[in-house]
Copies of this chain bind each other. A is one copy, B any other.
Amino acid sequence: MVSGAGVPSEAGLRLAEALVFASAEPVPARVLAQLLPEGDDAEAVLAELARRYAGRGVELVWVGGGVQFRTAPDLAARLRTVVQQPRRLPRAAMETLAIIAYHQPVTRPEIEAIRGASLSQDTFDILLEARLIMPQGRKEAPGRPTLWATTAQFLASFGLDSLSALPRREDLLSEPLPQR
């Protein structure tokens, strides 16, 4: 199991194990060599250590010019814990969603007119990907533009029973808006 350098001593193996474990960086054989007891060959010690750890939950691997302990790759999936960190909608997307919710079914030019700003495709795509809006027929007008409406997913996401659960526009506007 070990080359001509002889069988590594248990003391050498313990030291190598501790050193590799505690090091922040991969440990090159020459660094280990400085610590090992007289007569122990660093390469041989590491080879024997790797052999002892083979098949275990943690394995000794050669990376970046040194050795490091790594958890066995087949266990990664079982150890993984997923932390949900939901992101917020960008402001433009939230405004667009609100306008669609209150004015549906509504065309894109109408949304732009209400927001007083043009609508980027990105903003639209975010809402589509999140399945918050959907096309709902076409308007009988020149060019027959697509009408947009909110989805069942929209109601679920905001905890609404139905669209009528949205506060009425009049209740929302405590102050009169500038006339359009």
Chain A interfacial positions (CB closer than 8 Å to B): 13-19, 21-23, 31, 34-35, 56-58, 69, 71-72, 75, 78-79, 81-83
CA distance in complex: A82, B35 (Å)? 9
Bound complex: CA of A82 vs CA of B36, how far in Å? 12
Does the CB pair A56–B23 fall under 8 Å?
Answer: no
Find chain B residues with CB under 8 A from A58 CB.
17-18, 21
CB-based contact A78/B23 at 8 Å: no
Minimum C-beta distance from A114 to chain B (A): 36
Write out the residue numbers on chain B whose beta carbons fall within 8 Å of the beta carbon of A81. 35
Q: List 12 A-B contacts (CB under 8 A).
A: A13-B57, A14-B72, A15-B78, A17-B56, A17-B58, A18-B58, A18-B79, A19-B79, A19-B82, A21-B57, A21-B58, A22-B79
The residue on B at minimum CB distance from A84 is: B24
How far is B79's CA from A95's CA once the two chains are assembled, in angstroms?
41
> What is the bound-complex CA distance between A69 and B18, given in angstroms?
10
B17, B22, B71, B82: the one within 8 Å of A83 (CB):
B22
Q: A83 — which chain B residues lie within 8 A by C-beta?
A: 19, 22-23
Residue of B15, B16, B35, B72 touching A18 (CB-CB under 8 A): B72
Nearest CB of B to A63, in Å = 16
Residues of B within 8 Å of A71, CB to CB, are 18, 21-22
